[in-house]
Homo-oligomer: A and B are copies of this chain.
Amino acid sequence: MRRLLLTLRYDGTHYHGWQVQPGVVTVQQVLQDAIQSVTGVRAGVIGCSRTDSGVHANMFCCTFDTESTVPIERMPLALNQHLPPDVAVYRCEEVALDFHPRYLAQGKRYCYHIWNDPCRNPFWDRYALRRTGRLDEQLLNRAAAAFVGTHDFAAFCAAGADTAAEDTVRTVSKAEVKRDGKLVTFTVEADGFLYNMVRIMVGTLLDIAAGALPPDAIETALETGRREDAGFTAPALGLFLEKVYYEEGKTDAEKTSS
C-alpha cells in the first residue's frame, strides 16, 4: 500500500466545491471517479481544504492510498484522461503513510481577483468579481495590513459556523492588495482559514472602499469578534487557492506549482 499525494488545478465554476455531497457534482467526486478508472479500485481521497462551491484552485493537494502499480510519474496524465477539462492533476508523489494533507498543511495562500471596470472581460468574467467604481488599491492595501498578525478572526467567519466550539485564532503572515491594469488582486497567507474568511475579508475591504464601513473597520471587527462589524461575503468566483505549504522534506509539491 502506498499513499500518493496529488497536486491539481481546477476551475470551480461548475462544481459544488471540493467535498462529495449527494445530488451535486464536486471536485472530490470526479477525482475519485478518475482514480477508480485508472486503478480499478474506489479510494477515498482526503483534501487539504474544503473549498466552497465556485472557488477555484491553482494548487490543491490531496491524498489517497493505493496498491496500484501505475508508475507515479505516469499517474497525472493517466488521471487527466479521465478527468473533465476543468480539473487537471499536474503532480503525483509518494508520501509517508501517516501524511495528512489538511493536518500537515502549515499554511495556505489565497488570491481574490476583482475586475475593476464597468465593462465585462471575457477572459476574467468567471474568475474575478466585477466592480464598477474606481478602487483605490493603495487605500485597500493599507487597510489590509490590519489583518497581518495573530488575531481572533471570529468576525471573519460565516455566521452559520460554530465559532464557539472552534478556535478562531489564526496567524496571517501576508495581506496585500495590488493592481495590474484593471485587475485588482488581494493576496493573503495564513496558517489556516475559517469558513468564508477570505471572502469576508474581501467584502470588508470593498465596504471600506465604498465608504459603507469606516477605514478602521478591520481593527474594530478583530476586536469585537462580531460578524456584523465586518463586511459582506464576497462571491466565490474571484477566489483562488494559490498555494499550500508543507513542512520541508514532507513533500515536493510546492516546488512545482507554477
CB contacts (< 8 Å) of A181 on chain B: these are 258
User: Per DSSP, are chain A's interface residues mostly helix, strand or loop, or mixed?
Assistant: loop
Q: Which residue of the partner chain B has the closest CB to A57? A: B122
Scan A73-86; emit 1 where CB is below 8 A from any B CB, else 0: 00011001000011
Given the complex of chains A and B, what is the CA–CA distance between A121 and B10 in angstroms?
8
Could you give, for residues 1-30 of chain A, a 1 whenever the CB lies within 8 Å of some chain B CB and a 0 otherwise?
A: 000000001110000000000000000000
A-B pairs, 10 with minimum CB distance: A181-B258, A90-B119, A88-B120, A11-B122, A86-B122, A76-B119, A88-B122, A80-B120, A9-B122, A88-B119
**Residue contact A85 to B123, C-beta cutoff 8 Å:** no
Residues of B with C-beta under 8 A to A58: 123
Chain B CB within 10 A, most for which of A58, A86, A117, A122: A122
Give A61 Cβ to nearest chain B Cβ, in Å: 15
Determine how close the nearest CB of chain B comes to the CB of A195; give it in whole angstroms: 25
Whether a CB of chain B sits under 8 angstroms from the CB of A87 is: yes
Q: Does A209 belong to the interface (CB within 8 Å)? A: no
Interface pairs (17), CB distance under 8 Å: A9-B122, A11-B122, A11-B123, A58-B123, A76-B118, A76-B119, A77-B119, A80-B119, A80-B120, A86-B122, A88-B119, A90-B117, A91-B119, A123-B127, A180-B258, A181-B258, A182-B258
